[in-house]
Chains A and B, each alone.
Chain A
Amino acid sequence: MRLPVWKRKSMSTQAIAQQGQERVEDTTRHETFLHLIGQYEAALRRLAAGYVARDADREDLFQEIAVGLWRAIPSYRGEASERTWLYRVAHNIAISSSARLYRREKRERAMPEAFDHISARLDSEQELLRNEKRRALVEAIRSLPALDRQIVLLHLEDLSYAEIEQISGLSQSAVATRLSRVRERLKEEMQAREMGRQ
Chain B
Amino acid sequence: MKAKDELRELWCTQPYSSATKREDLVKLVQKQTKRFDRIILIRNLLECTAAAVVLVWFTLFAVRTQDTVQRVGSIVIAASAVCIIYFLLRYARGPANEDPSQNLSAYRRALLERYDTQIRLLKSVKYWYLVPPYVGLLIGSAGVLLSHARLGVVGWRDLVGPALYTAFFVFVWWLNEVKGVARLRSERARLLSIGEEANGSDCAD
Of the stretches B53-61, B69-77, B133-141, B196-204, the one at the interface is B196-204
Chain A CB within 10 Å, residue with most, of B10, B100, B187, B190 = B100
The reply to whether A88 and B22 contact each other, CB–CB distance below 8 Å, is no
A5 within 8 Å of B by Cβ? no
Which residues of B does A touch, CB under 8 Å? 3-4, 7-8, 10-20, 22, 25-26, 28-30, 32-33, 36, 97-108, 111, 186-187, 190-191, 193-194, 197-198, 202-205
- Consensus secondary structure, chain A interface: helix
The reply to whether B8 and A158 contact each other, CB–CB distance below 8 Å, is yes
Q: How far is the CA of A177 from the CA of B202 in the complex (A)?
A: 10
Q: How far is the CB of A43 from chain B (nearest CB, A)?
A: 9
Q: How far is the CA of A145 from the CA of B191 in the complex (A)?
A: 11
Closest residue to B205 on the A side, CB-wise? A169
The reply to whether A85 and B187 contact each other, CB–CB distance below 8 Å, is no
Q: How far is the CB of B19 from chain A (nearest CB, A)?
A: 5
Interface residues of A in 69-124 (CB under 8 A from B): 70-72, 75-76, 80, 85, 88-89, 91-93, 95-96, 98-100, 102, 117-118, 121
Interface residues of A in 134-171 (CB under 8 A from B): 134, 137-138, 145-148, 150, 155-158, 165-171
The reply to whether B14 and A169 contact each other, CB–CB distance below 8 Å, is no
5 contacts between A and B (CB under 8 A): A66-B28, A96-B111, A98-B190, A168-B105, A169-B105
- Chain B residues with CB below 8 A from A45, complex form: 16, 18
Q: How far is the CA of A174 from the CA of B205 in the complex (A)?
A: 12
The reply to whether B204 and A174 contact each other, CB–CB distance below 8 Å, is yes
The reply to whether A137 and B7 contact each other, CB–CB distance below 8 Å, is yes
Given known contacts A168-B105, A169-B204, A68 and B100 CB-to-CB distance under 8 angstroms: yes
